[in-house]
Amino acid sequence: MSANIDGIDFKQGLENCCGSIEAYWEVLESFLEDSAAKLKEFKPLYKSAANKLNEQDLRRFAAAVHAIKGVSAIIGARLLSQKAAALEIAGKNGNKKIIQKDFPDFYQDLKTLAEKVQSYLNTIHNSEAAEEDYV
């Protein structure tokens, strides 16, 4: 079953998983786990000003967006991966203005994409369960 998830290039994601749909679904599951953890970690930053971040906060932020950058690229979410890359650089360079400007959109994009992936995977799991009922 091919994915039609806005924001994800299914063909690219499948290629990144050596053409294995099962491996791709596993990577989508990993994306969900990672994004849930990172959204929770990012929530205080989303609700506050980036200019309050200290050097240690900036390092943690850069590492967190780096993780999202990687898994997003693997699943074929190129735009989200690019946004994460820009935020990672901003975090490493201590550029709080860029973080303050770009982070809210990134946070919402990550949240929205995670919801879409969850919906897609629920459909897959429901289809598999329905097929098992007929076997």
Is the pLDDT at 14 greater than 80, yes or no? Answer: yes
The reported pLDDT for the residue numbered 94 is 92
For 84, the domain range is 10-120
In a domain, 21, yes or no: yes
The reported pLDDT for the residue numbered 52 is 77
Question: What secondary structure letter does DSSP report for 50?
Answer: G
What sign does the CA torsion over 107, 108, 109, 115 have?
Answer: positive
Euclidean distance between CA atoms 13 and 67, whole angstroms: 16
pLDDT digits (tens, 9 = 90+) for 76-103: 999 999 999 999 999 999 999 999 999 9
* pLDDT interval class at 2 (50, 70, 90): low
| Domain CATH number, residue 58 | 1.20.120
In a domain, 131, yes or no: no
**Of 104, 118, 98, nearest in space to 34 by CA:** 118
Q: What is the pTM of this model?
A: 0.87
**What stretches of the chain adopt beta strand conformation (E)?**
none
The number of residues in the chain equals: 135
Q: Provide the residue type at 12 as one letter.
A: Q
